[in-house]
Amino acid sequence: MLTLVKTNIKYHYIYPQVNVEVARMKFGEAQDAMKNGKKVTRQVWHDKNVFAYIIFGRIVPAQFWTGPAECIRQGGVQISAHIDMLMADGSVCIGWNPTQVDLMADDWEVVE
């Protein structure tokens, strides 16, 4: 569990000791892993069972589309590739956008 400690007006994160060596990545490497079908997480998300993954672009047949009819073209709806995230409460965030902190972090890792 991540602990936040206040010292002299500044806050410092105290990370728990990890006994297993895990390959850590920057966001660009995590993005490449997602493009290869992997799920990724950050070390600070471990106790929350949160991870991100790519949904590749595809066409959803019109009969399965529940959104506005104006989206249907040539019998289906083109879904663009995007990143989704499994949230801590078990819901899925469609079209998740990483924060600047996520983009700059180097604690990304692949979920096996």
Each domain of the chain, given as residue ranges in start order, spans 23-111
Distance separating alpha carbons of residues 2 and 19, to the nearest angstrom:
15
Determine the Cα–Cα distance for residues 39 and 36; give it in Å rounded to an integer: 9
Taking the C-alpha atoms of residue 60 and residue 77, their distance in angstroms, rounded to an integer, is: 5
Q: What CA–CA distance (Å, rounded) separates 49 from 111?
A: 10
Distance spanning both ends of the chain, measured CA to CA: 20
Q: What is the rounded CA–CA span in Å between residue 85 and residue 26?
A: 18
Q: Could you report the per-residue pLDDT of 11-30, keeping only the tens digit for each?
A: 444 445 544 455 789 999 99
If one compares 6 and 66, the residue with the highest pLDDT of the two is: 66
pLDDT at 24: 87
Identify which of 104, 105, 110, 101 has the alpha carbon closest to the alpha carbon of residue 53.
110
pLDDT value of residue 46 = 78
pTM value surpassing 0.85: no
3-state class of 55 per DSSP?
strand
